[in-house]
């Protein structure tokens, strides 16, 4: 049997290049997720999307995932492998983005198909229906790609700088959010339409597909080396092949369900908030322009991007993952309460900037500790399915919370005189009161804190290794 003295991922340059390729694919994906977030006021004036319609559109990203696609995606990932799943998922992202671009484009509004779409469920414009269809397909690909990337990093960085690698991947993705909040309103303003930024970021997703194809070439070489060294991963060996019944190992794990519940509670106060964050700043800071509000909100992911690699390095060498989860939840609660009560009372841009950055730090603490913890509690053979099932539980919250927030925002402002007056004259800006939605977000954070505290106690009792370093 041929022995391989040094594997491809043993070379630092090779494994970091592999990380860069897949991280850039997710970078483009995260930019597209929020391409419409800073344009809520503009899409309401140009396409007639009310907050309720915007919430339905935002929820559409997760609908098919909640209906079971993510469970299927996990099985595909563990049965078909990283390369196949990665190329399929990034291609789905591009296809869904293309449909969404068609839906919001000007020429589509005059087509017979759009007119037909306008004839049923009249509360939802045809443009929103088409955009939501595309966003559903994109969302399936994006979540599938996210789990694939997590498993790819676990494979390439096993026994090495895994938390740092996952932290850097997340940091790059966060910079994507910063970039889109900077570029999207600027492109829309220059071109005079919401379709322009959607089209621009759709092209970038095609580059993401190419990136994953290049990574797949490297990953195939690594697998060939592993085969030669008789060190194939569990899912690639005939005697230990992944079987559907292996999912019972996940469903029967208390630790898994605690992590999944923490995930859905925490992220329900983050990603849905991103959809409304820029508009919230407009309303709480005396009607800022969309560009000015986006300039403030874009700093949210920068706090996460800057600190996440340092947290990953700390986790690799020192541990304390469960403790980080607790502090991340505490910061989350504090930030949403400041947005709800302090910011409207002070109208202070300085407080807005500071709170946004602190929220970004919270967004670094939790994901940096959460995702590298999963391989510690789940068998590598079913790791892809475990990530997908966590994402599935998370998507349940992400599907319903944006719609909940949109409906609550409308209902809580039904008698708001400033809102009624602005709507009466078809104003470009509607001064909504965001107090109740922000309290709801804070409530999710409190629940996440309680679960994180319980997880730390469970780790101490069962010795899961969440507080231990990754590098052995």
With residue 326 as reference, give the H or E element that holds it. Answer: helix 321-337
Domain count, the chain: 1
Q: Which residue has the tokens 């690699």?
A: 309
Q: How many angstroms separate the Cα of 33 from the Cα of each of 57, 60, 200?
A: 11, 11, 13
By CB atoms closer than 10 A (0-12, 13-18, 19+), residue 399 is buried
The pTM of the full predicted model, rounded to 2 decimals, is: 0.71
Q: Looking at residue 100, what is its pLDDT?
A: 94
Q: Looking at residue 241, what is its pLDDT?
A: 59
Q: How far apart are CA 43 and CA 52, in angstroms?
A: 13
Considering the domain boundaries, does residue 199 fall inside one? yes
Q: How far apart are CA 368 and CA 164, in angstroms?
A: 8
Q: How far apart are CA 326 and CA 195, in angstroms?
A: 40
Contact 217, 120 (CB under 8 A): no
Phi then psi for residue 346, to 5 deg, are -105, -25
Considering the domain boundaries, does residue 416 fall inside one? yes
With residue 393 as reference, give the H or E element that holds it. Answer: helix 383-412
Contact 298, 171 (CB under 8 A): no
What CATH number is given to the structural domain containing 102?
1.20.1250.20
Q: How many angstroms separate the Cα of 201 from the Cα of each of 11, 290, 293?
A: 33, 19, 21
* CB neighbour list of residue 411: distance below 8 Å, 6 or more residues apart: none
Considering the domain boundaries, does residue 231 fall inside one? no
Q: How far apart are CA 59 and CA 36, in angstroms?
A: 13
Considering the domain boundaries, does residue 94 fall inside one? yes
Q: How many angstroms separate the Cα of 121 from the Cα of each of 97, 118, 129, 256?
A: 23, 7, 9, 39
Q: Looking at residue 237, what is its pLDDT?
A: 40
Dump pLDDT digits (tens) for 154-171: 888 887 877 788 878 877
- Give the count of alpha carbons within 13 A of 99, CB side only: 19
Q: Looking at residue 331, what is its pLDDT?
A: 95
Q: How many angstroms separate the Cα of 123 from the Cα of each of 49, 54, 384?
A: 9, 11, 39
User: pLDDT tens, position by position, for the chain (472 residues)?
Assistant: 445 568 888 888 889 999 999 999 999 998 898 888 878 778 888 888 888 888 888 888 888 888 888 888 888 888 888 999 999 999 999 999 999 999 888 888 888 888 888 888 777 888 889 999 999 999 999 989 988 998 899 888 887 877 788 878 877 877 887 788 778 888 988 888 888 999 999 999 999 999 999 999 999 998 888 887 764 444 444 345 556 676 777 888 888 899 889 999 999 999 889 878 888 998 998 868 777 887 888 788 777 777 777 877 787 778 788 888 999 999 999 999 999 999 999 989 899 999 998 998 898 888 778 877 787 877 777 777 787 788 788 878 887 888 899 889 989 999 999 999 988 888 778 899 999 999 999 999 999 999 999 999 988 888 877 888 766 6
Contact 249, 379 (CB under 8 A): yes
Which three-class secondary structure state does DSSP give residue 179? helix
Both tokens of 353, joined, read 């900037």
Contact 226, 7 (CB under 8 A): yes
List alpha helices for 65-161, DSSP H.
Answer: 70-80, 82-104, 112-117, 126-156
Q: Looking at residue 232, what is its pLDDT?
A: 45
Dump pLDDT digits (tens) for 178-205: 788 778 888 988 888 888 999 999 999 9
C-alpha radius of gyration, the chain, whole number: 22
Q: How far apart are CA 264 and CA 397, in angstroms?
A: 6
Q: Looking at residue 53, what is its pLDDT?
A: 86
Q: Looking at residue 136, what is its pLDDT?
A: 94
In 3D space, the residue among 395, 415, 407, 400 whose CA is nearest the CA of residue 436 turns out to be 407
DSSP 129-152: HHHHHHHHHHHHHHHHHHHHHHHH
Q: How far apart are CA 117 and CA 124, in angstroms?
A: 9
Considering the domain boundaries, does residue 232 fall inside one? no
Q: How far apart are CA 468 and CA 472, in angstroms?
A: 10
Rounded to 5°, the CA angle 182-215-28 comes to 15
Q: Looking at residue 256, what is its pLDDT?
A: 86
Residue 360 lies in domain: 9-223+244-462
Taking each helix axis as running N to C, give the angle between helix 12-33 and helix 82-104, from 0 to 180 degrees, rounded to the nearest 10: 30
Both tokens of 439, joined, read 């309290």
Q: Looking at residue 226, what is its pLDDT?
A: 80
Which three-class secondary structure state does DSSP give residue 157? coil
């Amino acid at each position: 049997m041929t022995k391989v003295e040094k594997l491809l991922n043993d070379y630092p340059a090779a494994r970091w290049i592999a990380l860069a390729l897949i991280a850039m694919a997710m970078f483009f994906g995260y930019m597209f997720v929020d391409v419409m977030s800073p344009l809520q006021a503009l899409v309401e004036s140009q396409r007639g999307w009310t907050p309720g319609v915007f919430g339905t559109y935002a929820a559409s990203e997760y609908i098919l995932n909640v209906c079971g696609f993510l469970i299927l995606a996990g099985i595909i990932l563990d049965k078909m492998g990283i390369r196949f799943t990665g190329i399929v998922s990034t291609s789905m992202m591009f296809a869904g983005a293309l449909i969404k671009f068609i839906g919001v484009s000007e020429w589509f509004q005059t087509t017979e198909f759009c007119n037909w779409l306008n004839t049923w469920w009249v509360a939802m414009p045809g443009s929103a229906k088409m955009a939501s269809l595309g966003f559903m397909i994109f969302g399936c690909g994006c979540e599938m790609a996210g789990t694939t990337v997590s498993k790819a990093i676990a494979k390439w960085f096993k026994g090495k700088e895994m938390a740092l690698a996952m932290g850097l991947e997340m940091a790059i993705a966060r910079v994507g959010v910063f970039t889109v909040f900077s570029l999207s309103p600027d492109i829309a303003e220059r071109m005079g339409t919401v379709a322009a930024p959607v089209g621009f970021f759709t092209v970038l997703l095609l580059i993401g597909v190419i990136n994953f194809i290049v990574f797949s070439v490297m990953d195939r070489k690594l697998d060939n080396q592993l085969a030669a060294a008789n060190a194939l991963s569990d899912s690639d060996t005939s005697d230990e092949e992944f079987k559907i019944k292996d999912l019972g190992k996940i469903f029967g794990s208390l630790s898994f369900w605690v992590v999944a519940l923490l995930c859905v509670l925490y992220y329900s106060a983050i990603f849905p908030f991103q959809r409304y964050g820029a508009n919230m700043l407009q309303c709480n800071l005396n009607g800022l322009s969309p560009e000015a509000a986006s300039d403030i909100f874009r700093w949210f992911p920068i706090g996460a991007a800057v600190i996440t690699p340092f947290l990953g390095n700390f986790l690799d060498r020192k541990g304390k993952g469960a403790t980080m989860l607790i502090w991340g939840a505490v910061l989350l609660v504090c930030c949403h309460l400041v947005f709800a009560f302090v910011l409207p009372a002070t109208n202070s841009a300085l407080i807005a900037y500071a709170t946004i950055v602190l929220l970004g730090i919270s967004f670094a603490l939790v994901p940096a500790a959460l995702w590298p913890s999963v391989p510690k509690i789940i068998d590598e053979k079913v790791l892809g399915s475990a990530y997908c099932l966590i994402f599935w539980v998370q998507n349940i919250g992400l599907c319903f919370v944006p719609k909940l927030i949109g409906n609550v925002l409308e209902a809580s402002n039904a008698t708001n005189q400033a809102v009624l007056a602005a709507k009466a004259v078809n104003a470009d800006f509607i001064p909504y009161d965001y107090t109740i939605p922000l309290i709801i977000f804070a409530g999710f954070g409190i629940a996440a804190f309680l679960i994180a505290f319980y997880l730390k106690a469970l780790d101490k009792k069962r010795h899961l290794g969440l507080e231990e370093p990754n590098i052995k």
